[in-house]
A = this chain, B = another copy of it.
Amino acid sequence: MSTLAERVVAGDVRGAARLMRLIDDALPEAEVALRELWPRTGRAQIVGITGNPGAGKSTLVDRLIAHLRAQGKTVGVLAVDPTSPFTGGAILGDRIRMQDHALDTGVFIRSLATRGQLGGLSRATSDCARVLDAMGKDVVLIETVGVGQDEVEVCRLAHTTVVVVIPGMGDDIQAIKAGILEVADLFAVNKADREGVDRTIRDLRSMLELNHVVGRDAAHEIAIVKCVASRGEGIEELWSAIDAHYQHLRNGPGLLQRETQRARSELVEVLRERLLKVALERLAKQGAQLDDLALQIAKRQTDPYTVADAAARL
């Protein structure tokens, strides 16, 4: 095992941070370590927290960290939200509060920037979750804004995906429909001291019924949990619901199914990248550079399909 992988397995924070930077930059050294770490992964409980900006996801994550730490569990957090205080997007107050956990060696918080590469975000998040897993973190929380497509994809990594909504977002509940419902395992109705909370819960219930939504798991009913994260209310109930779902997965075929689904998409991503690299190297050997081919396509001398056909036959 390489020194870097050894440091991660030993729980070394700086080693883990270093590997995550290598992952972020998509450097080949990252793969060397990830390959070595693979047998050490698959132990952490992975929880996705998603929802629109302003739903209070970060505060909820903050409270969940405190709750888990009080239970003696170690926690890793990945924030994949450009508007998250972790990633520096939101108000200063939030950011400062989060840094409280920075002094706690049982917590590892990392933000993942949205990058320009296709497939980059969910791949990098998945890899970073593996690092936290291999470090021995009991729970990995992945916070993601539930708007983009890649962000939805990130939720598929989790054992349990929590969709955070707030009262009085009637129209937004409609907006949630697109994509997120497919990955929802439970709903947290945050800011539940606000007016309209009962209506929101009723709307959610009828939406779930009308759409025959069973989430990713037909055998487990989607729970709806009320909380007021800013005051720490309902956090215990929320964690109980998250954990009940995870135990349900563990006690049945669900856990291996989700692990297999995740392994499948990781394999496809690694394979796609590897195949492209090999194909571009073969093209270059024949004197055909990607940029030249793109220019020919832009000039309508050829088209992407014809070039891809030829390249795939090499």
A contact residues vs B (CB 8 Å cutoff): 31, 34-35, 38-39, 41-42, 52-53, 82-83, 87-91, 113-116, 118-122, 145, 147-153, 171-172, 174-175, 177-179, 182, 256, 259-272, 274-276, 278-279, 290-291, 293-295, 297-300, 303-309, 311-312
Contact = CB atoms under 8 A, between A and B. Distances in A.
18 contacts: A35-B303, A35-B305, A38-B305, A39-B303, A89-B174, A90-B175, A113-B179, A118-B153, A121-B149, A147-B148, A150-B150, A260-B294, A260-B295, A263-B304, A264-B297, A267-B290, A270-B305, A271-B312
Which residue, of A89, A121, A150, has the highest number of chain B Cβ atoms within 10 A? A150
A69 B83 CA distance: 37
A255 to B, nearest CB: 9
B147 A149 contact: no
6 closest cross-chain pairs (CB), A and B? A148-B148, A264-B294, A38-B303, A82-B178, A263-B297, A259-B298
Which residue, of A149, A150, A153, A177, has the highest number of chain B Cβ atoms within 10 A? A149
A174 B89 CA distance: 6
Contacts of A118: 118-119, 122, 150, 153, 265, 269
A98 to B, nearest CB: 15
Contacts of A271: 276, 279, 304, 307-308, 311-312
A116 B306 contact: no
A63 to B, nearest CB: 21
| Total copies of this chain within the assembly | 2
B278 A264 contact: no
A261 B291 CA distance: 8
A312 B263 contact: no
B294 A261 contact: yes
B312 A266 contact: no
A274 B182 CA distance: 27
A269 B35 CA distance: 26
A265 B118 CA distance: 10
A87 to B, nearest CB: 7
A75 B307 CA distance: 31
A288 to B, nearest CB: 11
Given A53-B147, A267-B304, A88 B256 contact: no
Which residue, of A89, A120, A145, A274, has the highest number of chain B Cβ atoms within 10 A? A274
Given A82-B179, A260-B298, 12 more contacts: A35-B306, A39-B303, A115-B149, A116-B153, A145-B148, A149-B151, A256-B295, A260-B294, A270-B308, A271-B307, A274-B312, A278-B312
